[in-house]
Structure 1
Amino acid sequence: MLVAPPVLPPEGSDLLNLTTLGKTTSPPDSSRFTHMLLAQGLDEPMGMAILPDFNVVIVERKGAVKLYNAKEKLLKTITQFDVYSGIEDGLLGVAADPSFTENHWIYFYYGLAGTRNVSQLTRYNLNGDQLDLRSKKNLLEVPTQRTYCCHSAGYLTFDSDGLLYMSTGDNTNAEEIEGHNPTDERPGRQLSDDQGTTANSNDLRGKILRIKPLPDGTYAIPEGNLFPKDGSQGRPEVYVMGCRNPFRVSVDPKTKFVYWGDVGPDTMIPAEEGMLSYDEINQARKPGFFGYPYFLGNNEGFPKYDFETKKEGPKQDPLRPVNNSPNNTGIKNLPPAQPAMIWYGKGASKRWPLVGKGAASAMAGPVYYSDLYPNAKYKLPDYYNGKLFIYEWVRKWIMAVTLDSEGNYVAMEPFLPHLKVMAPMDMQIAKDGAIYMLAYGTNWFAKSADAGLLRIEYSEGNRNPVASIVTSKTVGPAPMSVTLSAANSHDYDKGDQLTYEWKIGTQKLKGKEIEYSFRKAGIYNIALTVSDNHGGAGVATQQIKVGNTPPVVSISSNTNKSFYWDGTQLDYKINIQDAEDKKIDAKKISASFNYLASKSDLAAALSGANHGNMKFVATEKLYASLDCKACHTMDTKSIGPALKAISKKYQGQDDANELLATKIIKGGSGNWGTYPMPPHPDLPLKDAKEIATYILSLEKPETAFPLSGTLNLREHSDTQTDGVYVIQAAYTDQGANGIEPLKAGNHLVLRNPLVQIEDYEEGNVSVGIGTLNTDFVTYVPGGNGKYVSFKKTDLTHISKMRFRVQQDGEGGTIEIRVTRKDGALVGKLQVPPGKAKDPKQGWLEMETPINPTNGVQDLYFIFTNPDKTKRGLFNVDWIYFER
């Protein structure tokens, strides 16, 4: 059997004209898709099974089985399997039997706890929300190794003929590969040789298996698998071999083509696009060998690498691959290697530019056919008929892939890009046409607040309302009174009448806004259903955590808390209170004082400088723009080590910056475990060194910042008026009553007393541009009745204000008021009329005294003239606050 080359699109042609396929060329209005968050706060959700009654079984890697009750809108744990969850093992897959309504069978795949290194495919009876553990049937065991990471896969799905497909990872040592593929044939290194697993016809790993479950808990081998039923050439369960980590699998309900995403390696082998480190979307039209560990992508070959001599040999012929490894127990002459349908590396793809760049984890979703949902309320539009959905765990996109009548790739396009699912883990279409998506969440190998279950509905006619919950608080002590508001909910169909129902535990309450008192400590799941008068409904959920009060952090000062002046000092005092902590733990306090040369960095500094050193604000923005956060968190191990752990390891090492910068660009594995770090070849060395310096700063010993004192304000310059001084303080409490530790903080920002008028926060003015001398001036035209406002401005010790104004109009008054537009008058400036012959003329500085005013105020500048017929009064450039 020879291998037909894949039908390839032109480079850079993700989106093609589809009129030749007889398909609609215009995608549907995105507002007709309504997404609902049904459940949140999951702990590593790995897969789901949508039941006929729209209840959803969700499995979490550490062994929990949860059931989302669609009618009650509640998520509950129905059992906890005792699983081995080391490395990437755990409870990995779940699928409901196609005849679930009659037999109530549900299947699970998980690593068995204990000393036996096996993973099991099991079947149980599920009646309502009761999983009958006594009904267990063990269909299949997969022997594994638990010494090295990685790749367990474990997805389960059925085809339209009732055949069960199960994916298994290669379960091979992914480290110490020396920039090549794991084919180490040296004695004692069999766990580092993929030729003993994925390329071994007698091994169940690195495969997609296909079986027919039988009523007695055994299974039959269907016709048409890769090897004969008698096992003479390999395991008869094998449908596809030559996979690395076939993470998510789907079967076309009409053609029976099998699709899967295969997560690729990180090698240093040059390839058509960068390095031979592709992730793949594969299509199996029939059983076959899909290349790994000998080939990737379009059958690009790996050189034969001798781990003993460190020399490279020739590549294999994809038409005649041979497995001569001493670790191979199956056939030596393998079937011809099949190329991938879509493949892309860590850099930008020339052939499929829409896939992006960086770390990757490709997954395959369902193929959609309109006629399979004839009466479905939420069926997708015909535009998506025959299209394959693929998605990316790390890059967080979903694509709709157009195929021609023979299944060849034609084009891809983004699907619901506004959805921004956090690490999509599973995607399925329910019988009513709704799309269900499982979001793994932000944190890898950990519980995430944004890990949850989403339902996406499409409506041709009446659109479902979009439900939204706004709460007065989400965490606090017991008892806790909370205002729950649905005011931000809306309906795209104008004129619809909306009703609101809240579900808290077993209670149901109605109203657009309600007050609810939570009497006992615990975590409460709130569900809001917003219904219209045409039968449409939208759902939103929110978690309320009762039992722990957030800390209160305050920063006080006797000086002005808004501005700095030359030669001045700032006295300060940081105070921390926590209702549950009997004693404030000094080790849980973080405080710092910094000067930022540009206030444009302030927002990033306040939100991102977790370690307290604001000089790395720009670097943190660079770091956030890359894919690093997909694998690293600040304090805890994710798929990669914590940033602070990296910093600690390399403290005092002279070449640490150079070493880390090189690692960031080239990638690698082995220093921190088994998962390889992807390379960033496009990153300039200068940027890589900046990131390395930032990481190394995280655990440098620092003198604790005192909680009170006096600071000299000397870092600003006369020419730089855009800088700010910032004091930050934060405290993380000890947690209480089953609620995790909470962090709260506060800050004090001092800015230059010269304030540009166009930087106002509220107002009804336009902004003009003129010239003063040779400089451009951005100013505000002072029209009669116009105003600008600056919020939360401290007037303590302010004695007068100076303005630069231009006499270009009828003249009038600048009224200075506090709290609101008609609030107390604390000062006013009379500006004479005048007419500037050109933009350079008529500018002058004028000042007015200010009534003694203490404390932070909302400050309003009102431009007025008693004669309302006079419109243009003057122009204002800036305001200077004087002591």
Structure 2
Amino acid sequence: MKAYQLWAVGLLTLNALLFIPESKDYHLPASTPDSTRFTYTTLASGFDEPMQMAILPDFNVIVAERKGALKLYNVKEKKLSTMAHLNVFSGIEDGLLGVAIDPNFEANHWIYLYYGLGGDKNVSELARFVYQNGVLDMSSKKVLLEVPTQRTYCCHSAGYLTFDTKGLLYLSIGDNTNAEEIEGHNPTDERPGRTLSDGQATSANTNDLRGKIIRIKPEADGSYSIPDGNLFAKDGSEGRPEIYVMGCRNPFRVSVDPKTGFVYWGDVGPDTEVPASEGKLSYDEINQARKPGFFGYPYFLGANEAFPKYDFATKKEGPGQDPAAPVNLSPNNTGLKKLPPAQPAYIWYGKGPSKRWPEVGTGGASAMAGPVYYSDLYPNAPYKLPDYYNGKLLIYDWIRKWMMAVTMDQQGNFVSMERFLPQLQVVAPMDMQIAKDGAIYILAYGTNWFAKNTDSGIIRVEYSEGNRRPMAVATISKTVGAAPLKVSLSAAQSSDFDPGDQLRYEWSIGKEKIRGKEISYSFTKPGVHDVLLTVTDSHGAEGTTTTQVRVGNEPPQVAIKSRSNQSFYWDNGSFDYQVIISDKEDKPISKERTSVHFDYLPFGKDLASVLSTGKGEDVKYLQTRKLYETLNCKACHTLETKSIGPALKEVAKKYATQKNAQTLLADKIIAGGSGTWGSYPMPPHPDLSREQSLEITEYILSLNTEHRTLPLTGSLSLNKHVVGKGKEGAYVLMARYKDGGTKMMEPLDASMHVVLRNPQVEMEDYSEGNVSVAIATANTGYVSYITNIRNGKYTAFDDIDLTGIQAVKVRWREHGAGGTISVHLNSVDGPEVGSVSLPAGQLKDPKGEWHESDIIFKPTSSKQKLYFVFKNPGSNQPLFDVDRVTFVPAR
């Protein structure tokens, strides 16, 4: 779930005129509502990858967790319980993805689920169940639809469910296409045997449901019918009649305007190296479908900017397609060749600053669409939003963590956007819905990917004109540890915006109720304990929040120490390290549960999969492990223990010293066999390529930790990058330890990593700053740089280790009055470590000559936030342009 994009340019004004029509048939209230009148409550927390929620008529909430659990939050009891657990395939990004209740739920008690079906059948199911009184009747299951999928490559499953006001059910389905091996382009690999890497077989294929938003009418008998007005004819002669929208990559969250019927969704963009009008053609999109249509992928993004036709065999680019008349000529296409005209995105943005929509910020992105709000649909709702938000679309971003209110004119054209609830810091918002009482419910995924997070949860937001509920905020000194676990609990961050209110604080832990703003509590019983804080004001209004404390095992501690620089690598360098592990229960530390791995990643900026894995393998095998987990091998082989077949670690140990082990095992995986470990036969895998089979066997052999893990202390040679070739790679040293657990609590693991990147840092990649960015185009000589640099402006970079750094080499050129670049620690006016003066001069050619100057550093160690501050107090004109800086080690 990621999208990396870059910078901003050129034909912005033209595109704005073409795709963002100005309208005067709308009006806004004089001022925005008082943000303090929004109060929020965390109803439940501690979810394991929550994906979607369904708000029941009684305000109980059902939450679908990706690994298969359906959780129920009981609003009266203020408790979270597991109501069912489905057998799902949860590899890659698949799993239990969607949940929705029938519009006539109070009469029929139907709920709909979308999930990857567990087992060997590679399909995802849309199924209906009867839910009543906290029980999901598994025998009531009716499968409406099966979607064939591939489980070899990551990614994009989508899986959101929603109904419109006519009772039609919408389901978003991801393109289910290899997103990793695209060579900096779009996934259109037409070579033999590469069907799974060709989005033309899914998103652009009219006979495939993947990369689509489908629209159907569920029928009482558990079947469905095709409503009028879908994209293709009901007889299926042109394509699947269920399709409403096609040409999507990962249409992750969907909403339907209750009045206009317009469909909105966020589409998570690719990571490409294709130049575009705003950086690279890697946009995330918010889309609006006023009618059925083709929305471009994998041929177009944003305002129908075309990808070049890339030949994966010859590595040559050709011209892109015409959005007015796109064609799908791929040998992997089973549908129409002539596609409907491509529709442009409604809102789109890349990794860098957006000139159209500067409010969206910068960095990685995952765009999502929430509901459109109408005041008159909530006539007597106690918590309805102010009329200011009438007709506005709510959107949000999972990675950037913002929420926006989008103002539209009466035709649905974009007018403006503004931050919505900026004071509410939601950690990875995953779903947003409005309840019948006007309250907004937000589902937070939490900090860590593919993990159970204590900061995940259901958040309820209320707006009140009268007395406002207090906002309950609980701070706990420690949420996991050995028994007895003594913790400090504080409600000091709780607040009430009504003057004069006196607040009372009550903590509920099990059956105990303890009053006090700050208390200490000792958990003596191992297990998972719910902690409920209730804050009550002078008028009896309550605010609540819940969290969990896990007792019974102290987490291990892992640290990496080094005398070397821990930010950068240099040619022919080395990195010394010492891993230090401690654990309260484990005496001594187990070597078998310790892993230290080091490798070079060609695309070091994408470390999400490295940092989310908890299995302790070499970092270079992460993608191979994902491939392995999609196969039926895991039905017979587990990582640690014997099942029908031997544990993978036992296989690795058995073949550790055999010279031809990789070839022997690769042949056996493809051909099948029996007799080595018992009589049960291993099935063949004829569809697996020789290359894939060799990758899998190399991964399995790597699990012999005695053979593969590095020692706790050592020195590593930094010689795997190609000198002078590319700046995207990174070395990763990762140390992990998994403790032995206790009788009452599962094992816990801890890890630490060091990432060493290329010392050349592009200035436009700053984490904080107030300069402008010129993107790489033919007019700039394909160089991107920062510009409009004036006195007092700055750029900042996080966590730069200055150990052993002698200087930084600045690539700059004349473009104005000249001045000084001064480098400071931790703030614009922090300690100065070096500076350089640059002369004045006029820029005559945008491709003009660049110069290099050194800033000599004072000896400094440890990681710092580095500020490059630009100064010329005597001028209010631009000073110069800066392309990049390169950190130079002491010799």
With structure 2 as the length reference, what TM-score do the two structures score? 0.64
The separation in 1 between residues aligned to 2:229 and 2:183, in whole angstroms, is 38
Residue number among 714, 719, 729 corresponding to 1:654 in the alignment: 719
Q: CA RMSD in A?
A: 4.0
Q: Does 1:93 align with 2:93?
A: no
The separation in 2 between residues aligned to 1:520 and 1:167, in whole angstroms, is 44
Shift of 1:663: 1.8
Q: Deviations over 1:396-427 (max 9, x none)?
A: 21111111110001111111223222211111
Residue number among 738, 742, 748 corresponding to 1:741 in the alignment: 748
Contact 1:225–1:236 (8 Å) recurs in 2: yes
Shift of 1:124: 0.9
Q: Does 1:633 align with 2:611?
A: yes
Shift of 1:77: 1.3
Shift of 1:336: 1.1
- Residue matched to 2:830: none
Q: Does 1:192 align with 2:197?
A: yes
The separation in 1 between residues aligned to 2:97 and 2:358, in whole angstroms, is 31
The separation in 2 between residues aligned to 1:363 and 1:464, in whole angstroms, is 29
Q: Does 1:270 align with 2:275?
A: yes
Q: Deviations over 1:63-85 (max 9, x none)?
A: 11111111111111111111111
- Residue matched to 1:147: 152
Q: Does 1:130 align with 2:135?
A: yes
Mark the CA change 1:232 to 1:382 in structure 2 (over 3 Å): closer, same or farther: same
Mark the CA change 1:242 to 1:628 in structure 2 (over 3 Å): closer, same or farther: closer
Q: Deviations over 1:633-681 (max 9, x none)?
A: 38748999599999999954525285896225xxxxxxxxxxxxxxxxx
Mark the CA change 1:8 to 1:241 in structure 2 (over 3 Å): closer, same or farther: farther
Q: Deviations over 1:758-783 (max 9, x none)?
A: xxxxxxxxxxxxxxxxxxxxxxxxxx
Mark the CA change 1:82 to 1:19 in structure 2 (over 3 Å): closer, same or farther: same
In the TM superposition, 1:318-337 aligns within 5 A as: 318-337=323-342
Residue number among 366, 370, 388 corresponding to 1:383 in the alignment: 388
2:370 partner amino acid: G
Q: Does 1:112 align with 2:117?
A: yes
- Residue matched to 2:767: none
Moved more, 498-507 or 232-241: 498-507
Q: Deviations over 1:264-290 (max 9, x none)?
A: 112222221122211111000011111
In the TM superposition, 1:771-810 aligns within 5 A as: none
Residue number among 219, 231, 234 corresponding to 1:229 in the alignment: 234
1:654 partner amino acid: N
Contact 1:631–1:639 (8 Å) recurs in 2: no
Moved more, 160-169 or 178-187: 178-187
The SS at the match of 1:538 is: strand
The separation in 1 between residues aligned to 2:583 and 2:733, in whole angstroms, is 30
- Residue matched to 1:837: none
Mark the CA change 1:421 to 1:16 in structure 2 (over 3 Å): closer, same or farther: farther
Q: Does 1:457 align with 2:435?
A: no
1:303 partner amino acid: P
- Residue matched to 1:250: 255
- Residue matched to 2:813: none
Shift of 1:90: 0.9
- Residue matched to 1:717: none
Q: Does 1:548 align with 2:553?
A: yes
Residue number among 285, 288, 291 corresponding to 1:283 in the alignment: 288
Contact 2:12–2:356 (8 Å) recurs in 1: no
The SS at the match of 2:139 is: strand
Mark the CA change 1:375 to 1:185 in structure 2 (over 3 Å): closer, same or farther: same
Contact 1:13–1:411 (8 Å) recurs in 2: no
The separation in 1 between residues aligned to 2:39 and 2:71, in whole angstroms, is 24
Q: Does 1:496 align with 2:501?
A: yes
The SS at the match of 2:107 is: helix
The SS at the match of 1:633 is: helix
Mark the CA change 1:441 to 1:14 in structure 2 (over 3 Å): closer, same or farther: farther
- Residue matched to 1:441: 446
The separation in 2 between residues aligned to 1:357 and 1:575, in whole angstroms, is 36
Larger radius of gyration: 1
In the TM superposition, 1:476-875 aligns within 5 A as: 476-480=481-485, 484-505=489-510, 512=517, 518-549=523-554, 580-583=585-588, 633=611, 636=614, 652=717, 654-656=719-721, 662-663=727-728, 692=730, 695-696=731-732, 734-736=740-742, 737-738=744-745, 740-741=747-748
- Residue matched to 2:400: 395
Shift of 1:301: 1.3
Q: Does 1:160 align with 2:225?
A: no
The SS at the match of 1:259 is: strand
Shift of 1:13: 15
Contact 2:46–2:547 (8 Å) recurs in 1: no
Q: Does 1:348 align with 2:353?
A: yes
The separation in 2 between residues aligned to 1:383 and 1:177, in whole angstroms, is 45
Contact 1:17–1:25 (8 Å) recurs in 2: no
- Residue matched to 1:430: 435
The SS at the match of 2:727 is: helix
Q: Deviations over 1:418-464 (max 9, x none)?
A: 32222111111111121111122222122223222222222222111
- Residue matched to 1:51: 56
Q: Does 1:317 align with 2:322?
A: yes
Mark the CA change 1:536 to 1:495 in structure 2 (over 3 Å): closer, same or farther: same
The SS at the match of 1:191 is: helix
- Residue matched to 1:302: 307
Contact 1:632–1:643 (8 Å) recurs in 2: no
The separation in 2 between residues aligned to 1:516 and 1:155, in whole angstroms, is 41
Shift of 1:297: 0.9
Contact 1:635–1:645 (8 Å) recurs in 2: no
The separation in 2 between residues aligned to 1:503 and 1:18, in whole angstroms, is 54
Contact 2:434–2:440 (8 Å) recurs in 1: yes
Which runs of 5 or more structure 2 residues have no equivalent in the other structure? 1-10, 559-578, 598-602, 625-707, 753-891
The separation in 2 between residues aligned to 1:298 and 1:537, in whole angstroms, is 47
Mark the CA change 1:656 to 1:204 in structure 2 (over 3 Å): closer, same or farther: same
Residue number among 61, 66, 71 corresponding to 2:66 in the alignment: 61
Contact 2:12–2:355 (8 Å) recurs in 1: no
The SS at the match of 1:391 is: strand
The SS at the match of 1:222 is: coil
Mark the CA change 1:413 to 1:191 in structure 2 (over 3 Å): closer, same or farther: same
1:633 partner amino acid: L
2:721 partner amino acid: A
The SS at the match of 1:326 is: coil
With structure 1 as the length reference, what TM-score do the two structures score? 0.65
Which runs of 5 or more structure 1 residues have no equivalent in the other structure? 1-5, 554-573, 591-609, 612-622, 665-691, 700-729, 746-883
Mark the CA change 1:206 to 1:589 in structure 2 (over 3 Å): closer, same or farther: closer
Contact 1:168–1:246 (8 Å) recurs in 2: yes
Mark the CA change 1:641 to 1:99 in structure 2 (over 3 Å): closer, same or farther: farther
Mark the CA change 1:503 to 1:82 in structure 2 (over 3 Å): closer, same or farther: same
The SS at the match of 1:662 is: coil
- Report sequence identity in percent: 64
- Residue matched to 1:818: none
The separation in 2 between residues aligned to 1:389 and 1:637, in whole angstroms, is 38
- Residue matched to 1:74: 79
The SS at the match of 2:279 is: coil
The separation in 1 between residues aligned to 2:157 and 2:531, in whole angstroms, is 35
2:719 partner amino acid: D
- Residue matched to 1:207: 212
Mark the CA change 1:633 to 1:147 in structure 2 (over 3 Å): closer, same or farther: closer
The separation in 2 between residues aligned to 1:118 and 1:52, in whole angstroms, is 32
Shift of 1:486: 3.6
In the TM superposition, 1:408-419 aligns within 5 A as: 408-419=413-424
1:277 partner amino acid: S
Contact 2:126–2:146 (8 Å) recurs in 1: yes
Q: Deviations over 1:767-805 (max 9, x none)?
A: xxxxxxxxxxxxxxxxxxxxxxxxxxxxxxxxxxxxxxx
